[in-house]
Structure 1
């Protein structure tokens, strides 16, 4: 797993000295004897990950914004942003931009509502995030209930447990009014966070998925993402076949088809035909082999290394029912393209479309991992 880490080192620094926050009062808070606690809170969050630290790598900012703590705890990390000694909101934003450019799979950040606003201004819903509560104001829904809970959530993701991706509000209040006893919270946006598994809409009594309803939901989500002029490579498998059926298009169950503007362009393409048909922005819709968990390398040889590289990891849409994922018992999805370098590029966390506006996070790995 490639995780991002941003710590706002002065988050909550005004709380212990009755300043009710840190916005604009950091120097006064420190002068009153306040002690920075954000790194300690982040240490608590990272402790549940020590047992698997050889399986993790971090991208972070220098100094108190992440690197110092990661080095102290023995995690592997790379510094993508050089932070000044005295940090500000602009450094949180710049660090978030640097980590976004490094394609981290999950961004862990420590702070309060102001920090969440800064991260949201850059990341929005392009990347899953999780907040470590370290500020005075924690009105936003993007934070774990405790620092330790944040680490446990990431540890469960590494174990292969299913975590839903949910939209959570980013809230903040006016600290100047808060210091006068007036609480006025305002919504500033939303970000996507991993959450414990939840079933929505298409379920039977008792929490069991209804396969037919779930497949309808998955198809509706994929179809809603189809934009005019955009090509979609439709992989093999019954889940993808159901999407084609919902579109009213003929499908090659054990082959690969190409559609554009919800119309069939070509059926059962060869690897060479598929490579020639790829244009910028082409998406690949693929599912896993039930029971085995292969994502690439079984039954879809048309998706060669050069085809996958031409499409790009960011344009791969993985679809599956939660029942199929749970049947793996925590085992990762298998990447076996025949190209070792590409296998390494494709490993990591994927958002799996499991319904309409419903996704879970799941790990894919090289078979030798």
Structure 2
């Protein structure tokens, strides 16, 4: 690969830790709740991984926090080919690395939009890039794919995961993985871009739709599309409920498997949110990170189930379970049906804190039934 186009959706993932389950149409509310942008840092991590392997790459980028800043921070000297402040190519002050004008776009401003992503990708295609690297979630993936499809381009795309929900199979497992894949891939394959109705998702209903099939670099660390597993988890839920401790605080993550446990305990679960419960009382429902920290009391157990087909137990769809929350808990319980585990090669974590990620890696016991467990590795 000789050239790369980089575009960042700077608001991707902002709604996760504050309990919004997504940021589309909710930037102002996310900011009101104290959300901080995460996509720019993840872009820098991916591009730093790429730079270590290919420092001489020609990099084209959208201006400032939309791509150029992260590329510069990683070591590249990008050519800015789209700037939303001018409606076209970057001006001199946007390409020379100056700290002032080059950073004047607020990453949390609603004014940065999907149109900026699409315009940047069109500019990349005009330069004949070998890969479009984007940073965001499923919505950003759809924007990139639509431009590629409309142009009839065979240019591959690869995502750096930064959104709250990621159902598409076009992303590296982690930002560092995405950078490594971009540097080393030698062939591509067609993979799915899916999107979800965020309004329905916030109400606890998952509605996904196949939006495109696009070429993506072939690598083991390109994540699979999310699968929703089925199966009887009544025995698992019953076994867990029998063993709860009266004075222990339980933080229940999203998903139907964990929801079955909550129902066994007499809790009305928020199916796609996080609930905090202790000794018969719901302390927080559909909680944000701060709500969880306020309600937490030791000892505490976090209960999570891996995402079907992907294996993530932290970092996808449950950003409320942040490093701060994880470190406050003295126990993590992973639960899953045997059929779900059969479709997962390993468990995964991706929570913006390398030290906590590393602490979570290793072999864990996954509860699979009333009395049964299975040893699975977190990688």
Q: TM-score, normalised by structure 2?
A: 0.49
Once the two structures are TM-superposed, the CA of residue 53 in structure 1 deviates from its matched residue by 4.6
> Aligned partners of 2:54, 2:179: CA distance in 1, in Å?
12
Asked if 2 retains the 8 angstrom alpha-carbon contact of 1:172 and 1:186, the reply is yes
Aligned match of 1:88? 113
Aligned match of 2:216? 193
Superimposed CA distance per residue, residues 157-208 of structure 1 (whole angstroms, 9 cap, x where no aligned partner): 3xxxxx33111111011000000000011001111101138xxxxxxxxxxx
Superimposed CA distance per residue, residues 81-138 of structure 1 (whole angstroms, 9 cap, x where no aligned partner): 0024331011111111111111111110000000001111101352111100000111
Aligned match of 1:260? none
> Aligned partners of 2:209, 2:139: CA distance in 1, in Å?
12
Once the two structures are TM-superposed, the CA of residue 55 in structure 1 deviates from its matched residue by 1.7
Where does the alignment leave 5 or more consecutive residues of structure 1 unmatched? 158-162, 198-369
Asked if 2 retains the 8 angstrom alpha-carbon contact of 1:53 and 1:75, the reply is no
> Aligned partners of 1:153, 1:53: CA distance in 2, in Å?
11
Aligned match of 1:16? 17
Once the two structures are TM-superposed, the CA of residue 52 in structure 1 deviates from its matched residue by 4.2
Asked if 2 retains the 8 angstrom alpha-carbon contact of 1:10 and 1:26, the reply is yes
2:163 aligned with 1:138: no
Aligned match of 1:4? 5
How do 1:213-292 residues align onto structure 2 when only pairs under 5 Å count? none
Asked if 1 retains the 8 angstrom alpha-carbon contact of 2:142 and 2:211, the reply is yes
Aligned match of 1:151? 179
Match of 2:146 among 103, 112, 121: 121
Aligned match of 1:108? 133
Once the two structures are TM-superposed, the CA of residue 35 in structure 1 deviates from its matched residue by 0.5
Aligned match of 1:38? 39
Match of 1:184 among 185, 199, 207: 207
Q: Which moves more between the two structures, 41-50 or 18-27?
A: 41-50
Secondary structure of the residue that 1:178 maps to in structure 2? Answer: helix
Q: How many residues align?
A: 192
Secondary structure of the residue that 1:126 maps to in structure 2? Answer: coil
Secondary structure of the residue that 2:116 maps to in structure 1? Answer: helix
Secondary structure of the residue that 2:217 maps to in structure 1? Answer: strand
> Aligned partners of 1:50, 1:173: CA distance in 2, in Å?
33
2:197 aligned with 1:169: no
Once the two structures are TM-superposed, the CA of residue 47 in structure 1 deviates from its matched residue by 2.0
Where does the alignment leave 5 or more consecutive residues of structure 2 unmatched? 86-104, 106-110, 221-379
Once the two structures are TM-superposed, the CA of residue 75 in structure 1 deviates from its matched residue by 0.3
> Aligned partners of 1:186, 1:53: CA distance in 2, in Å?
36
Aligned match of 1:50? 51
> Aligned partners of 2:124, 2:7: CA distance in 1, in Å?
9
> Aligned partners of 1:74, 1:147: CA distance in 2, in Å?
16
Asked if 1 retains the 8 angstrom alpha-carbon contact of 2:47 and 2:70, the reply is no
Once the two structures are TM-superposed, the CA of residue 41 in structure 1 deviates from its matched residue by 0.9
Secondary structure of the residue that 2:125 maps to in structure 1? Answer: helix
Asked if 2 retains the 8 angstrom alpha-carbon contact of 1:38 and 1:110, the reply is yes
Once the two structures are TM-superposed, the CA of residue 155 in structure 1 deviates from its matched residue by 2.5
Larger Rg: 1
Superimposed CA distance per residue, residues 298-349 of structure 1 (whole angstroms, 9 cap, x where no aligned partner): xxxxxxxxxxxxxxxxxxxxxxxxxxxxxxxxxxxxxxxxxxxxxxxxxxxx
Asked if 2 retains the 8 angstrom alpha-carbon contact of 1:56 and 1:76, the reply is no
Asked if 1 retains the 8 angstrom alpha-carbon contact of 2:55 and 2:75, the reply is no
> Aligned partners of 1:120, 1:51: CA distance in 2, in Å?
28
2:86 aligned with 1:63: no
Asked if 1 retains the 8 angstrom alpha-carbon contact of 2:54 and 2:183, the reply is no
> Aligned partners of 2:179, 2:49: CA distance in 1, in Å?
5
Superimposed CA distance per residue, residues 208-240 of structure 1 (whole angstroms, 9 cap, x where no aligned partner): xxxxxxxxxxxxxxxxxxxxxxxxxxxxxxxxx
Secondary structure of the residue that 1:55 maps to in structure 2? Answer: coil
Misfit runs of 4+, over 3 Å: none
Note the aligned Cα RMSD (angstroms): 1.5
Once the two structures are TM-superposed, the CA of residue 152 in structure 1 deviates from its matched residue by 1.3
